């Protein structure tokens, strides 16, 4: 099916761009950002703000990111809200890109930022219609291309595209580095680290060492950490088998806290399975229930995979669930000091309802240290 959908509302479009979906649907709009053509997995984010944090979130590695909120870029780009310095998303799709940002912190416009980071984008399309397509058919491959007479070639190229499976490798740091402080010693395993995780640990005076995703258990334990953090990251958790052996080896040796991809990897290491969701959870208002207390937190989320309830190992206790679809949002190991959550308690952007989980991690570390001293 070939359908051209336009939404320019009388604006003068200086340069056109097409968004092509693998089902044959085409959206025509205005080109923003870099003048290059890309393929990627199309996903949508429902957040009303926080576009800079989302674009620089490594969890979007290889994906074309569409924002459902109508106006994006109105407060520009600033030096404080980066989640990584070099973003790895493939492209950006918006209904309207603000041309003149207004905010005292703004250093550049969204368009200038995308150009500088070599990220193409498209504006002036009906993102409501696009969201409905993704919700109905699920995430799919898409292309951002220049209009021309080569549509059939562009479509065949898109359908032939094999999406990468090495997103974690291209997101993780290549070498260890410290974030020094005077408190508990934390090793952070970087699967696609958000800087906001480091900010939360820094608030708690943690002495942090960030290590690559493929660091061995022996290397981690040789640093004598008080705790290990498994970070967020992109892609399918089953594409990171080297992490599972490491987690299995440190489980019970040191307290563990996993976030997002780290949650999925901890679960897999304990014998659970994961599955790909139809269109995932990507936004900043996802309601999550803590099962033990009934407490409701509004959370920031960005994931396309989830831990399956079926055949969940008896060693894992479900601690949190999503209110709408009842997917697993948190687990705790029954025998070892290890827990994880699917959402982002660091919440940048998003509500800070769940930031207490970092304090829970600190308490878990202290409890384990007390037990060791008493023994």
Catalytic entry in 281, 286, 344, 353? 344
Query: According to the annotation, is 261 in a ligand binding site?
Result: yes
Whether the CB-CB separation of 352 and 298 falls below 8 Å is answered with no
Catalytic, 190? Answer no
Catalytic, 344? Answer yes
Query: According to the annotation, is 364 in a ligand binding site?
Result: no
Distance of alpha carbon 80 from alpha carbon 105, whole angstroms: 8
| Cβ density class 200-223: b for 16+ within 10 Å, e for less | bbbeeebbbbbbbbebebeebbee
Strand pairing class (274-290; 296-307): antiparallel
Catalytic, 89? Answer no
Distance of alpha carbon 167 from alpha carbon 152, whole angstroms: 29
Catalytic entry in 57, 297, 346, 353? 346
Contacts of residue 3, Cβ cutoff 8 Å, sequence gap at least 6: 24, 25, 26
What's the distance, CA 18 to chain centroid?
Answer: 26
Query: According to the annotation, is 130 in a ligand binding site?
Result: no
Query: According to the annotation, is 40 in a ligand binding site?
Result: no
Query: According to the annotation, is 305 in a ligand binding site?
Result: yes
Catalytic entry in 89, 206, 260, 270? 260
Distance of alpha carbon 240 from alpha carbon 215, whole angstroms: 12
Q: What is the DSSP string of 305-370?
A: EEE-STT--TTEEEEEEETTT--EEEEEESSSSEEEESSBTT-SSS--TTTHHHHHHHHHHHHHHH
Query: According to the annotation, is 50 in a ligand binding site?
Result: no
Query: According to the annotation, is 283 in a ligand binding site?
Result: no
Query: According to the annotation, is 275 in a ligand binding site?
Result: no
Give the active site residues. Answer: 260, 344, 346
Question: Binding site for L-glutamine, residues?
Answer: 59, 233, 235, 261, 264, 302, 304-305
Question: Binding site, residues?
Answer: 59, 233, 235, 261, 264, 302, 304-305
């Amino acid at each position: 099916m070939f359908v051209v959908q336009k939404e320019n509302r009388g604006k003068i479009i200086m340069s056109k761009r097409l968004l092509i979906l693998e089902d044959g649907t085409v959206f025509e709009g205005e080109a923003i950002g870099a003048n290059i053509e890309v393929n990627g997995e199309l996903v949508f984010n429902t957040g009303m703000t926080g576009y800079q944090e989302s674009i620089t979130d490594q969890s979007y590695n290889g994906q074309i990111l569409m924002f459902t909120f109508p106006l994006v870029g109105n407060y520009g780009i600033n030096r404080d809200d980066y989640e990584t310095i070099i973003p790895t998303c493939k492209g950006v799709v918006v209904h309207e890109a603000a041309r003149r940002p207004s905010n005292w912190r703004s250093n550049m416009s969204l368009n200038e930022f995308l150009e500088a980071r070599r990220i193409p984008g498209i504006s002036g399309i009906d993102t409501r219609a696009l969201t409905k397509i993704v919700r109905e058919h699920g995430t799919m491959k898409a292309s951002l291309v220049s209009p021309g007479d080569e549509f059939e070639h562009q479509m065949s190229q898109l359908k032939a595209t094999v999406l990468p499976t090495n997103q974690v490798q291209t997101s993780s740091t290549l070498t260890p580095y410290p974030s020094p402080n005077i408190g508990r010693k934390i090793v952070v395993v970087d699967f696609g680290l958000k800087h906001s995780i480091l900010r939360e640990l820094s608030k708690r005076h943690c002495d942090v060492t960030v290590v690559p995703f493929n660091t061995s258990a022996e290397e981690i334990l040789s640093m004598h950490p008080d705790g290990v953090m498994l970070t967020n990251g992109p892609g399918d958790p089953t594409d990171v088998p080297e992490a599972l052996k490491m987690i299995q080896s440190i489980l019970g040796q040191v307290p563990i806290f996993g976030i997002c991809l780290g949650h999925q990897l901890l679960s897999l290491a304990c014998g659970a399975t994961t599955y790909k969701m139809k269109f995932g959870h990507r936004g900043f208002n996802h309601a999550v229930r803590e099962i033990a207390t009934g407490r409701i937190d509004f959370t920031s989320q960005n994931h396309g995979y989830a831990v399956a309830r079926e055949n969940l190992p008896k060693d894992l206790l479900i601690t949190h669930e999503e209110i709408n679809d009842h997917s697993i949002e948190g687990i705790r190991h029954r025998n070892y000091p290890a827990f994880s959550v699917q959402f982002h308690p660091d919440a940048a952007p998003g509500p800070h309802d769940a930031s207490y989980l970092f304090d829970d991690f600190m308490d878990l570390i202290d409890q384990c240290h007390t037990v060791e001293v008493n023994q």
